[in-house]
Amino acid sequence: MRVRRPGPTTPVRIRQFSGSTATDRRDDLATEEPLEIRVSAPDGTRRTAAITMRTPGHDLELAAGFISGEGLAGPGDIAAIAYCTDDDIPPEARYNTVTVHLKGPIPDLPALDRHFLTSSACGVCGSASLESLHDRCRPLPRGELELTAELLYGMPGALRGAQGVFGKTGGLHAAGLFSASGTLVAAREDVGRHNAVDKLVGWAAMNDRLPLSDHVLMVSGRASYEIMQKALSAGIPAVCAVSAPSSLAVDLAREFGITLVGFLRGERCNVYAGGERVVGSAEGRGHAGAGRT
């Protein structure tokens, strides 16, 4: 049986109106399908970590990034990642199930007891609090990363230029990883903003690049608590967003030493935390950009 592998876009026929004129034509939608992420141990134990709605593509990176971000595996803990061929998986679902093979036993974490469904919109909502993060994460050191306003202003355009599927569909979020010099290192797209970040972190994990202590994360939407949690787990010291951050995202950034920039559009932005890493914003350290621009 030949199994169709889902792609990032799905063609549909639509009727488009312009004034009083109707035209039938093809349109491309961003594909949204479930991905089950499983973990397995050398002793044969297997469990479901999550089921998330995502855009197909870079699925192995998504699984690696999710496992890393949830504290289920650290650098060097993953033996292999592959699409699942277990007997309980029907052929048509094979490309919607990924197994992460760990080198050691599966951690006993609450997330695995819930077998939770993660929506593409909200991510792993309420999966952790600031207090629980201290059990597995430490505040990031100041480091040598220094950003200029001009460097920040160039990031949204660079990220937009890398959004190939968005250009076809207009319906995807994006996350980009930038070097300290402002060069786009990698970019990923997905219907879920958290999935896009997981794909980036998974790419770094699979290429032995964690922690990302001298990089900047740029996201196309808002900066949520979940995105900040994923950045912290990956050791990313600076996060930039086109839209607003949430209050809990700002709290996390300030408590764990992450630079958080919001409303990064054109040549304007707000620095909500970690202003010491942004040249010229030291006078607003910890309080810069408290309002919307």
* Binding-site positions: 263-268
Strands 21-30 and 78-83, by their bridges, are unpaired
Which of 40, 42, 45 lies closest to 97 in space, CA to CA? 40
Q: Which of 84, 122, 125, 137 does the annotation list as catalytic?
A: 122
Task: Give the ranges where the chain is alpha helix by DSSP (H).
Answer: 59-69, 110-114, 130-133, 149-153, 155-161, 164-169, 193-206, 225-233, 247-256
160 CB burial (10 A radius; 0-12, 13-18, 19+): middle
Return the HEC string of 226-271. HHHHHHHHCCCCEEEECCCECHHHHHHHHHHCCEEEEEEECCEEEE
Which letter does DSSP use for residue 275 in this model?
G
The single-letter code of the amino acid at 42 is P
Q: Is 137 a catalytic residue?
A: no
Q: Which residue has the tokens 């190939």?
A: 164
Which of 121, 252, 248 lies closest to 194 in space, CA to CA? 121
Contacts of 186 (CB under 8 A, 6+ apart): 176, 177, 200, 203, 204
Alpha carbons 133 and 228: distance in angstroms, whole number: 11
Q: Which active-site residues does the annotation give?
A: 122
